[in-house]
Amino acid sequence: MNRDRGRAPAGVQGLLRPVPTMPRGGRGVVLKTAHDLECMRQAGRITALALRAARDVIRPGVTTADIDAAAAEVLRKHGAQAAFLGYGQPPFPAVTTVSVNEELVHGIPGRRRLVEGDIVSVDCGAVVEGYVGDAAFTWGVGEVSELASRLMRVTLAALWAGIAQMRPGKRTGDISAAIQQCVEGAGFNVVREYTGHGVGRQMHEDPMVPNYGTAGKGLLLRPGMTIALEPMVLAGSPETAVLEDRWTVVAADGSLTAHFEHTVAVTEGGPWVLTDQEPGLDESAGIGYNEYFAGPAAAPGTERKPS
Ligand code: MG
Ligand code: MG
């Protein structure tokens, strides 16, 4: 899966597309057919199931490896490949990235035990018949602080603010600006070094979609474009660093971070969230959880699926 044409800072190959430049033109963007989108929906559905399984094991005392194992089991059961396993250099050793508190993205699952009050971000990519689904969420371990709770809500709201822009005639800058305004309006910061990205038969395709930008600028959105939107938000300074494991990206100032992501298609009927969970499934799982998978009522004009 190491086909990312971007280059990460500090010699690290990211699972997220790093930002060498702003999105350029329409070249390299792969428009998907209706068949492609149905296949991507299958990959997205299994990604959602894996994340749900990961979410369901999160509690004080479990290790980040336990979370990874729960997601891996879902992929195995459905015959899906893991987009992250073996990705990059050094090869990523797990099915999910699990990032705790100040770890923003790309945390390597392992022996770390979660404690009450942690917030944990899980990112997963499932590959089904060559099509990739890419999604992530952040979840609290037991009771979390007011700040942590607000950070997660704002990051999720930013994701849906971006999704609401995924319509023909809008531009990538509209997505970026919507995310940035939501985050900065709440007093938090977006990451600069990592971005959302096109996704399809490759985990990283054009266009890059930064979490900051100018409305009305960037690439014109057209039906058949599929983008993984992923606000990565820091409660403190936007600066990041990479740990010695050459993967884990942390807030340079040690502040709390959150990350939500969905793979979304632009269609004539509006945005189609391909990594949404199936309607009606697990409706009792909690408001924030359902908001992530089904979308908050506060995202006006955003349909679950195009008509
Ligand atoms: Mg992604
Ligand atoms: Mg991801």
Give 28 Cα–ligand 2 centroid separation in angstroms: 20
Secondary structure E strands in the chain: 17-18, 81-82, 96-100, 103-105, 119-128, 131-140, 189-190, 194-198, 205-209, 226-229, 232-234, 240-242, 249-251, 257-259, 262-267, 270-273
Flag whether pLDDT at 7 surpasses 60.
no
**Residue 242: φ, ψ to 5°:** -110, 130
Give 131 Cα–ligand 1 centroid separation in angstroms: 14
pLDDT of residue 180: 98
Give 13 Cα–ligand 2 centroid separation in angstroms: 14
Give 14 Cα–ligand 1 centroid separation in angstroms: 10
Read off the pLDDT band of 15 (50, 70, 90).
Answer: low
Give 151 Cα–ligand 2 centroid separation in angstroms: 19
Give 4 Cα–ligand 2 centroid separation in angstroms: 13
264-303 CB burial, b ≥16 within 10 A, e <16? bbbbeebbbbbbbbeeeeeeeeeebbbbbbbbbeebeebe
Average pLDDT over residues 211-223: 97
Tokens of 105: 């993205």
**Residue 100: φ, ψ to 5°:** -110, 130
pLDDT digits (tens, 9 = 90+) for 27-39: 679 999 999 999 9
pLDDT of residue 282: 42
CA angle 138, 134, 13 (to 5 degrees): 90
Read off the pLDDT band of 241 (50, 70, 90).
Answer: very high
Least trusted range by pLDDT, from 10-14, 120-124, 184-188: 10-14
Give 196 Cα–ligand 2 centroid separation in angstroms: 9
Give 230 Cα–ligand 2 centroid separation in angstroms: 7
Average pLDDT over residues 143-147: 93
Give 263 Cα–ligand 2 centroid separation in angstroms: 9
pLDDT of residue 306: 36
pLDDT of residue 276: 84
Stated pTM of the model: 0.87
Helix (H) or strand (E) holding 306: none
pLDDT of residue 220: 96
Among positive and negative, which fits the CA dihedral 118, 156, 54, 2?
A: negative
Domain layout of the chain by residue ranges: 3-7+18-298
* Length in residues, the chain: 307
Read off the pLDDT band of 10 (50, 70, 90).
Answer: very low
Flag whether pLDDT at 295 surpasses 90.
no
CATH topology of domain 3-7+18-298: Creatine Amidinohydrolase (3.90.230)
Share of the chain above pLDDT 70, in %: 81
Higher pLDDT, 117 or 285: 117
Flag whether pLDDT at 217 surpasses 60.
yes
Task: Looking at the CA of 227, name the nearest ligand.
Answer: 1
Give 135 Cα–ligand 2 centroid separation in angstroms: 5
Contact at 8 Å (CB) between 277 and 49?
yes
Average pLDDT over residues 226-253: 97
Give 260 Cα–ligand 1 centroid separation in angstroms: 10
pLDDT digits (tens, 9 = 90+) for 162-207: 999 999 999 999 999 999 999 999 999 999 999 999 999 999 999 9
